[in-house]
Structure 1
Amino acid sequence: MAQSLLQSSTATLMARATATETGYSTAQLPPKTRNSRVLILGGSGRVGGSTAIALSNLSPQLQIVVGCRNREKGAAMVDKLGKNSEIAQVNIDNMDSLETALRDVDLVVHAAGPFQQAEKCTVLEAAIETKTAYVDVCDDTSYAFRAKSLNNRAKAANVPAITTSGICPGVSNVMAAELVRAARSESKGEPKRLRFSYYTAGTGGTGPTVLATSFLLLGEEVVAYNKGEKIKLKPYSGMLSVDFGKGIKTKDVFLLNLPEVRSTHEVLGVPTVSARFGSAPFFWNWGMAAMTKLLPAEYLRDRSKVQELVKWFYPVVRAVDGIAGERFSMRVDLECSDGRNTVGVFSHKKLSVSVGTATAAFALAVLEGSTQPGVWFPEEPEGIAIEARELLLERAAQGTTNFVMNKAPWMVETGDEPKRGWIRNIRLNVQKRKRN
């Protein structure tokens, strides 16, 4: 495959994204899947709703089934989507309800989080039982690897399934896989370090579920890998200042326990892997770090207690979001043993839109036959075939303000001084004035 994506600019991708009035480049699905029925669980929520809208725009002939518990919210989403959509009331904790809903669809997209501390992969098990293709937006390590343990059952049932297939994890995994593939084909060295860095302004406009996920992650020890050795670290520690390039510049990010760390370590064979996240305004980072010190880990791992926290914090978060916006960026860094360093950067002005577009890109890849039977991570070639990665990233990148792949760090960095740097300079200047 030509390496056009690895050398493409944001302008090229965005030019391709203007083919329709919606701003999306429509997907030309094979005739047998063009009118497929896609059930989106959590379809009236922020992530599921965004996915439904993106799928409808990318492939207008698809039949979108909005799976939800609240019929009123589901009806509002169907009104947005138009004639090729309908509602299905589904209880994801009830196997009978799930199997009834899945028997009439070709693909199920599981966007009904949070996935943290879920004891079973009920939706995936129902998909295997009904022989329905499956995609989820899981962002929890335990859930992701529990899903992966169903690989042989999915193979036996001839069911293609991808777990952790949203934007981060998801698109970020595919970006990492492409950086590693390019390095191994073009470099004399071996990949030795992979670093994921994520930034959102506020909650990214994605609702209380994301806030709950963030709080739950604060109760988990961070798993990272150092020279092949598994290590455990404190959540929201290990701050780094990362330059996300134009439009975002330098932001502070902190360690979190995310599934792409383990999956890319195992699948791509990179010995040192870590993932970090940061938010804005910068005092949110202080608050998150303070929570890990003030609240016991057991408290932060209790879903009922976290839901109470969300009720208290969410109105404040939404008010601040109105000022902060919902910009989003991720940067994937790869270092090789021969000194070769490359990065991929993906930035969007609205996370709530971008996550739906990314998830829709995975759904389309499955419908197009890119995924083999079994349960796969996005970076596995059986999940997203190597030759299908370019198209997936192109679709996911529609609407981005900055998207680059396989570039040297200096080619994407702005040289912007971290916020903590200018705060330190202000303090020094004040001290100098006092001394004078």
Structure 2
Amino acid sequence: MAPAALYLNQTLLACSKERESRVYHPNKTHLNSRVLIIGGTGRVGGSTATALSKLCPHLQIVVGGRNREKGAALVATLGKNCEFAEVDIENVKALEAALNGVDLVVHTAGPFQQAEKCTVLEAAIATKTAYVDVCDDTSYAWRAKSLHKKAVAANIPAITTGGIYPGVSNVMAAELVRSAKSESKYEPERLRFSYYTAGSGGAGPTILATSFLLLGEDVVAYNKGEKVKLKPFSGVLNVDFGKGIGKKDVYLLNLPEVRSAHEVLGVPTISARFGTSPFFWNWGMEAMTSLFPAEFLRDRSKVQQLVQLFDPSVRAIDAIAGERVSMRVDLECSNGRHTVGIFSHRRLSVSVGTATAAFVLAVLEGNTEPGVWFPEEPEGIAIEAREVLLNRAAQGTINFIMNKSPWMYKHVEFSPSASLSGTITGFESCNIDQMDCRSHLLVGRLIILLRK
């Protein structure tokens, strides 16, 4: 593939020096855009800064965070086009001041669960700054979407849920649906998102907190157009992620791409699942949904206590488990057509930054209209820009395929440890009541220690 910087010679946006009169011009060129990464000293933000500096060395990158020592260390590795700025997103005036002179802001300071306001997006609109976030929370994503008209009025493009998953997975789904509709007179009927990450994926406490907070949310899925609610971390399926990953168990979670893909792409049956390894982490997650009340798992302060307790063990096991990541998107149509997209990488900590950087460049290149958009919306990432975005995001992958028939992989199967609940006819719902009692005993002892 040609160096990503060459793509900037095609259709980059231009930004005027006066912020009050800024207008995005997709057909003009602006190589020296200034990008602020909120949460830039964290794993995701730091990975995004590193990826951007490699994909487009001309960009001016501002690492925004609260840890000046970490910021200085990252800046030293990225070179002369990078600088650090101390940024606290809770201080609105300071945040808006930090956005002064910035062309685009990337919000990577999660977790997004339980956040009450879209502070960074609101500041971006107020200062007329383009915006990308890596939100992985349904409520936050739709709160961001509610600011669409304000973003249009400010004439700024904004992408919410633009990272690896959701993000790249949404674009993969959009391309599967588009291809199916263009090649067949039959309509898409079922869309399934399946995700796997070894350990914490090297992303540290943030992804751990995100996972625990999601366990406190009912899972929203769609069955033949009807919204259904299911128990978190239930409905286990055994999915073949193909080369480099193999078969992994994945469980239902409440992820934002389910609703956005249902409403944007019009697929009537959609679900999303996630799994990790070693296998006992999955057992622990399932057990937590039974042993802790949902109110506990939705409490950010209590979840942070759990994170502090588990983090040393997670990091120790991460060193053994590695941080491989894989996404599989399955689309089934009414005529029996079944196509698959798979994206696998050896290191989540690297891949998430590359994926986020791909969205940043897409926005800077003028592929996003003013407003707040999900990645699968053509106004968010133009259809003709999707291939470039996916190719950029896929750099370094060990397996990346699109629009292939699943004959090259075994079909998704129910895990032997699961039984059909029968509560939702025609929908993939199952429980884990038949799980080996020894796993419950092991995890139960851990939870009892936590609750003391």
TM normalised by structure 2 equals 0.87
Q: Corresponding residue for 2:443?
A: none
Name the aligned partner's letter for residue 180 of structure 2. Answer: A
In the alignment, is residue 305 of structure 1 matched against residue 309 of structure 2? no
Is the aligned partner of 1:366 residue 2:366?
no
Most deviating of 397-406 and 30-39: 30-39
8 Å CA contact retained: 2:41, 2:70:
yes
- Maintained 8 Å contact 2:36/2:104: yes
Q: How far apart, CA to CA, are the structure 2 residues paired with 1:419 and 1:248?
A: 19
Residue 257 (structure 1) aligns with: 254
1:376 aligns with 2:373: yes
For the aligned residue pairs, the C-alpha RMSD in angstroms reads 1.8
CA 1:315–1:25 in 2, change beyond 3 Å: closer, same or farther? farther
Tell me which residue corresponds to 1:100.
97
**Amino acid of the residue matched to residue 28 of structure 1?**
L
Equivalences for residues 214-233 of structure 1 within 5 A:
214-233=211-230
User: Does the 8 Å CA contact 2:340/2:404 hold for their aligned counterparts?
Assistant: yes
Mapping of residues 357-436 of structure 1, within 5 Å: 357-413=354-410
Query: With CA pairs under 8 Å and 6+ residues apart, which has the higher RCO, 1 or 2?
Result: 1
**Distance in 1 (alpha carbons) for counterparts of 2:362 and 2:256:** 21
- 1:374-420 deviations in whole A, cap 9, x for unaligned? 00000000000000000000000000000000011112449999796
Residue ranges of structure 1 left out of the alignment (5+ in a row): 1-15, 422-426, 428-436
Contact (CA 8 Å) 1:225, 1:273: kept in 2 or not? yes
1:304 positional shift: 0.3
AA of the residue aligned to 1:63: Q
Identity %: 75
Among candidates 28, 49, 61, match of residue 8 of structure 2: 28
AA of the residue aligned to 1:133: A
**2:428 alignment counterpart:** none
> Which residue of 1 is the match for residue 180 of structure 2?
183
The change in CA–CA distance for 1:418 and 1:239 in structure 2 (over 3 A counts) is: closer
Q: CA deviation at 1:344?
A: 0.2
The offset of 1:187, in angstroms, is 1.2
Q: 1:127 to 1:280 in 2, by over 3 A?
A: same
Which residue identity is paired with 1:43?
A: G
Partners in 2 of 1:114 and 1:372 — Cα distance? 27
Tell me the TM-score normalised to structure 1 length. Answer: 0.90
2:94 pairs with 1:90: no
Query: Are the counterparts in 2 of residues 162 and 383 from structure 1 also a CA contact under 8 Å?
Result: yes
SS in 2 for 1:270: coil
Q: 4+ runs of 1 displaced by more than 4 Å?
A: 24-27, 413-421
1:235-266 Cα shifts (integer Å, max 9, x gaps):
00000000001111110000000000000000
Matched, 1:42 2:39: yes
Match of 1:430 in 2: none
Say whether 1:129 aligns with 2:132.
Answer: no
Amino acid at match of 1:158: N
CA 1:56/1:312 → structure 2, altered by over 3 Å: closer, same or farther?
Answer: same
| Rounded Cα–Cα distance in structure 1 between residues aligned with 2:234 and 2:172 | 25
* Counterpart Cα distance in 2 of 1:181 and 1:415: 22
Q: Contact 2:238–2:413 at 8 Å: present in 1 too?
A: no
Partner of 1:159: 156
Check conservation: 1:246, 1:414, Cα contact below 8 A: no
Q: Could you tell me which residue of structure 2 aligns to residue 8 of structure 1? A: none
Q: What is the DSSP-based 3-state SS (H/G/I as helix, E as strand, rest coil) of the residue aligned with 2:49?
A: helix
Return the letter of the residue paired with 1:140.
D
Q: Secondary structure at the match of 2:327?
A: strand
Aligned to 2:61, which of 42, 59, 64? 64
Runs (5+) with no aligned partner, structure 2? 13-27, 419-435, 437-452
Aligned equivalents of 1:168 and 1:94: distance in 2? Answer: 29
